[in-house]
Structure 1
């Protein structure tokens, strides 16, 4: 069967990998109380269970993406899926915090190998621009679907089985996806990758981990050590950027950022997930702490967000072609701002209506912004460098999600006066949520205005 004939099967297989990665964190959040009761980790250990995966993924994305260009994207996808499956079994069988943390490291390595490979394979297989735009839209919507499906699956498993069972739900998907990938997905790589630079790998990993960890710790604890780590990460990042400009064969092609379209696309991915994950994190707390919802019911309430994303993402290509990148991004960030501001009204009799409307608007706006960004990033890079471009897109996603939870979390913490959400009470929580929602909406509104003013008109978009 020719690649042209089975490209939609390839898209389904790549989306299956992204689905597993997207489900992972939401599954863990639901299972965390049961894990804490069974393994009784320390407070620090509990934080590492949550944070270690994202740190490993963020640190390895650039290396994994560019390595897949060199060694083969299909090979990286299969290896990542297998490693993700092994980590799932280790997590399910863990009888100590140490073993569970080991599984989180393995899962992070697998996730970092899967994510850039999926998008770069889609870039390679879909040669028609319109079909590629539609395929990337489906791929983007899979992330939102996974975030909503995760709590539903985890809630259903926890009602019947032990906490480790939530990690085993990925195994059937992995087995089928790997078998079909071996047969149907073509291999692709950069035919002329140039010289490999190990120092760039070390610098990229150390800088991204330092920045992500520093931001999270600074927002959570405000410690001096966190500030030092953040500054060190920024310095190493500057050294990395300087080195890439000097190398004949850089690990990451930073010349792509010379185009306004590419820079705007990267920022749109980062900022859309900043608003998306930041506010959703607190609304899931609202459902469980004050609504008394079970994990399963919480997942059901997230479905409007996922369904809106599933509807909007595949249409993004047509929207950008009709309106242009400038109008599409300005409009989508404006919609995100309006949707986030709705959550500032929570605390009355119309809460359910507000949540559904806010989720639908947020799902549509964030999906259009993120999908348009992903499309622009992947089409700006030549096919042989697709893995590196995908790594930029995925790193923007990780940084946006981390910044959203960290920065908006610090705003909420300041509003609650250092108390937990449960201890603060309903009134204090809604006051904090209103402030957090309006801050996030303000950031999105400023972004919409900057997109309208800074991005070129349609006839000059590719300059």
Structure 2
């Protein structure tokens, strides 16, 4: 008997899904909610530049580094139990963050929040695997999870902007507390428990190697993207690669954190690659869209965030459409079509100019989100379907790790492409007669150019701002074309590699 022929999920499971969407939304939202709050807590706590980086980055670093470990741990000690422990820890750490009176205290709170978030993300996805055995219902449930997780990152700046206009900066953390409290109350009543009775002893050495691999690699990629080549981030990436090789070799032993034989399954390995590359393109392009709205078009952050909500609509529509489409169309063709649609969105972004207003960038981002929403929903479903139920936690951790790595690579590679064009253009077109050092500052970032232009005489400042915005837009265009090329190649590979795979196989 196949899973699809077993009893379908009822009202209890669907209400339980609504409960699971709460931590998915909050965990994703907390990756971006601090973007607008940084000036406010910086004024109160006066962090050094190094401390500010830790406040902003430690959450994402720790979450990415521990996803595989926490997914495998949930398989052993119970996915619901780990989810509830993580919810309690996340709520408590958020409370500490909200009332932090020093930079060190806020950094510690963000570290604890990152560790707790790593328990929540894979637990929610793996519990969906246990609750929805019918393949069509599971696709629908994963679509809702995708919309919540993807939408949370886009909603974060909007929620943060609203709260900061009415309350103090700690309110962006305080909103997590009632959500986690609700999860602690409803979780035991609505969510099933599952653990793998044959999981064996937890491999602590593999857990450490996994953490080092992700922390070092993502740290190095992020620093290279922001500061250019330097031996420190290059060494960090090298250390991450070495730790990753050691981790992979160790997984061939009995009782390992992940089952490496899963990667011999074409559906699993190609879905993992597709998911990673989709997030590579999505996150990398999102970096430019936010800056374009604020620094090229001159929007306030909250206004720019509201325009970005159109992308959330695209993601929700895609997550709703995927379960319907997969009833009559093979996943390979839906994934391929989604990637082609996303490529069309990236090409629309190339039509956005300095004076064209927000229409093209918003339309392009919405079309891109629509296409990649289809891709991420079905890729996540195929990853979970390919893994045996007792390893769903580890598979969920792998899926989320690929997502985090894809996003980091998107920022690094697509960001570097855009930055290279921006600097080359600005070097050749900067107005003559500017003060010494002004062009150097403007060449670093568009934000630097806007700041310098504001301190120059009106005519000189306007001239610098005009060429800087044009240079940035050209860089955004090339990055969008690069992303379009990546997703087109991925579309061809996905159709070829997944053409015989069905959801629930």
Question: TM-score scaled to structure 2, two decimals?
Answer: 0.87
Q: Could you say which residue in structure 2 is the equivalent of 1:409? A: 415
1:436 alignment partner, one of 461, 479, 484: 479
- In structure 2, relative to structure 1, the CA distance for the partners of 1:35 and 1:413 (3 Å cut) is farther
| Structure 2 equivalent of residue 458 of structure 1 | 500
Q: 3-state DSSP class of the match of 1:322?
A: coil
Alignment of 1:200-279 (within 5 A): 200-221=206-227, 222-245=229-252, 247-279=253-285
In the alignment, structure 1 residue 117 sits paired with structure 2 residue 123: yes
* CA offset digits 1:367-415 (Å, max 9, x no partner): 1111111000111111111101110111011111111112222222222
2:294–2:304 contact (8 Å) kept in structure 1: yes
Closer, same or farther in 2 for the Cα pair 1:445/1:351, shift >3 Å?
A: farther
Please tell me whether the aligned partners of residues 270 and 497 of structure 2 are also in contact (alpha carbons under 8 angstroms): yes
Greater Cα shift, 152-161 or 10-19: 152-161
SS at match of 1:95: coil
Matches of 2:180 and 2:493 in 1, distance apart? 42
Give the SS at the match of 1:84. helix
Alignment pair present for 1:144 and 2:150: yes
Q: Relative to structure 1, is the Cα distance of residues 4 and 189 closer, same or farther in structure 2, using a 3 angstrom cutoff?
A: farther
1:64 matches 2:64: no
Other-structure match for 1:356? 362
Comparing 341-350 and 374-383, the one that deviates more = 341-350
Shift of 1:458: 2.9
CA 1:249 to 1:401, structure 2 compared with 1: closer, same or farther past 3 Å?
Answer: same
The match for 2:447 is 422
After superposition, the Cα gap between the structure-2 partners of 1:168 and 1:192, relative to the gap in structure 1 and judged at 3 Å, is same
* Pair member with larger Rg: 2
Quote the Cα distance in structure 2 between the aligned partners of 1:62 and 1:413.
Answer: 32
- For the residues of structure 1 that align with 2:400 and 2:142, how far apart are their CA atoms? 13
Structure 1 stretches of at least 4 aligned residues deviating more than 4 Å after TM superposition: 459-463
Structure 2's unaligned 5+ residue stretches are 1-7, 424-442, 450-467
Q: Which residue of 1 aligns with 2:5?
A: none
Structure 1 residue 52: Cα displacement: 1.2
* Structure 1 counterpart of 2:393: 387
The answer on whether the counterparts of 1:347 and 1:430 sit within 8 Å (CA) in structure 2 is yes
Partner of 1:194: 200
1:210-236: CA deviation from partner (whole Å, max 9, x where unpaired)? 211121122223111211111111111
- Separation in 1, partners of 2:206, 2:110: 25
Q: Over residues 86-121 of structure 1, what are the superposed CA-to-partner deviations in whole Å (9 max), with x where a residue is unaligned?
A: 121111111222111111101101110000000011
Secondary structure in 1 matching 2:193: coil
Q: Aligned-pair RMSD on alpha carbons?
A: 1.9
CA distance in 1, matches of 2:322, 2:264: 24
Q: Which residue among 147, 155, 171 is the counterpart of 1:165?
A: 171
Q: How many residues align?
A: 460
Q: CA deviation at 1:459?
A: 6.6
2:184 corresponds in structure 1 to: 178
Asked if residue 100 in structure 1 is aligned to residue 106 in structure 2, the reply is: yes
| Counterpart contact for 2:296–2:354, Cα < 8 Å | no
**Cα drift, residue 22 of structure 1:** 1.2
Work out the CA distance in 1 between the residues paired with 2:113 and 2:131.
Answer: 27
Which of 75, 81, 89 is residue 87 of structure 2 equivalent to?
81
- Local SS of the residue matching 2:255: coil
2: distance between equivalents of 1:101 and 1:44? 11
Deviation at 1:42, TM superposition (A): 2.2
* 1: CA distance, partners of 2:11 / 2:225: 49
The answer on whether the counterparts of 2:418 and 2:479 sit within 8 Å (CA) in structure 1 is: yes
Match of 2:30 among 2, 24, 35: 24
Contact map agreement 1:136 1:314 (CA 8 A) in 2: no
Matches within 5 A, 1:282-431: 282-347=288-353, 350-417=356-423, 418-424=443-449, 425-431=468-474
Query: Mind listing any 5+ residue stretches in structure 1 that lack a counterpart?
Result: none
